[in-house]
């Protein structure tokens, strides 16, 4: 219940325990709950069942700096948060060229004179900027740049083109019937029973998986992508009837049973990434439902 969860959080705070719950994020992540389900059935050529377009997270900042000011301007940009690519910092690209300007009345050019066309050797300085750091980076640019008027562009960069999303769909490496796959799934998830809707002895070639409770929400995608079998945690009655009408066999494992196996994989990855840190996997966690 909400009250019980709130009490648990308050108790953790009192005991100085931090909680990070990557629930839906782990469903989407590579190697997460849905990939563990797909691995249990050895699915190949897999992709997200429902792709979510990647959101842009960075700008490319382009500015033009006199040669003798490149070091101070780039240093200010990096200190404000620009130039980070993965585990690398201070990333930039620099190209020499010529800049022109004509200062009108009331201007006071750093280089040359007002009232005449000037041509100055400059460096085109390019770097990346996290979208949430754009304001302080631009402020640092203006503060460190020697020009009276600073020319710059902020270009939105497209997100990672690799497909990211919820669920998985793929092909079996060979011929199998639904009931054969049920045996594989029970062993992988360490459960004794599955709920089945539709034909259990049919030949299966294409399988969709969706851990947790959103099986009905992604049923349209499973049907549209011609899944023969759909493995999920839960599905509502009328969604199961629709799946049967569309000739899709459904396996329901119960909600947490579809997710728990991912904890083994996650614990292994944490042990590898954080050597020396003790990783404990709960032995008390279990599905609240049992089948008599």
- End-to-end Cα, the chain, rounded Å: 25
**Can you give the length of the chain in residues?**
292
pLDDT at 161: 78
Q: Quick one: tokens of 45? A: 């050529």
Give SS3 for 121: strand
Phi and psi (nearest 5°) for 207?
A: -125, 135
Which of 30-34, 78-82, 191-195 ranks highest by mean pLDDT?
A: 78-82
Residue 128 CB neighbours (<10 A): 20
> Residue 1 — very low, low, confident or very high, per pLDDT cuts 50/70/90?
low
| Distance of alpha carbon 231 from alpha carbon 26, whole angstroms | 17
- Residue 7 pLDDT greater than 90, yes or no: no
Mean pLDDT of the chain: 92
- Residue 3 pLDDT greater than 60, yes or no: no
> Residue 4 — very low, low, confident or very high, per pLDDT cuts 50/70/90?
low
| Distance of alpha carbon 149 from alpha carbon 109, whole angstroms | 9
> Beta strand pairing status for 203-210 and 229-232?
parallel
pTM, two decimals, is 0.73
Helix (H) / strand (E) element for 136: namely: helix 134-144
pLDDT at 282: 87
């Amino acid at each position: 219940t909400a009250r019980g969860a709130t009490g648990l959080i308050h108790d953790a705070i009192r005991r100085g325990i931090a909680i990070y719950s990557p629930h839906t994020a782990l469903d989407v992540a590579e190697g997460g709950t849905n990939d563990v389900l797909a691995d249990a059935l050895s699915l190949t050529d897999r992709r997200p069942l429902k792709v979510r377009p990647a959101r842009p997270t960075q700008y490319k900042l382009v500015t033009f700096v006199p040669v003798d000011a490149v070091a101070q301007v780039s240093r200010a940009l990096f200190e404000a948060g620009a130039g980070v690519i993965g585990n690398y910092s201070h990333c930039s690209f620099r190209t020499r060229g010529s800049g022109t300007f004509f200062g009108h009345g009331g201007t006071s050019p750093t280089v040359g004179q007002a009232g005449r066309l000037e041509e100055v050797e400059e460096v085109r300085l390019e770097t990346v900027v996290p979208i949430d750091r754009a304001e302080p980076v631009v402020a640092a640019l203006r503060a460190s740049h020697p020009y009276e008027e600073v020319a710059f562009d902020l270009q939105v960069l497209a997100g990672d083109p690799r497909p990211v999303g919820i669920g998985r769909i793929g092909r079996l490496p060979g011929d199998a019937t639904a009931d054969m796959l049920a045996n594989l799934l029970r062993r992988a998830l360490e459960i004794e029973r599955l709920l089945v809707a539709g034909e259990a002895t049919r030949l299966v070639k294409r399988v969709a998986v969706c851990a947790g409770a959103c099986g009905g929400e992604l049923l349209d995608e499973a049907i549209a992508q011609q899944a023969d079998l759909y493995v999920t945690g839960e599905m509502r009655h009328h969604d199961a009837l629709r799946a049967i009408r569309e000739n899709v066999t459904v396996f329901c494992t119960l909600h947490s049973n579809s997710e728990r196996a991912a904890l083994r994989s996650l614990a292994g990855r944490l042990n590898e990434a954080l050597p020396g840190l003790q990783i404990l996997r709960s032995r008390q966690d279990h599905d609240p439902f049992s089948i008599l």
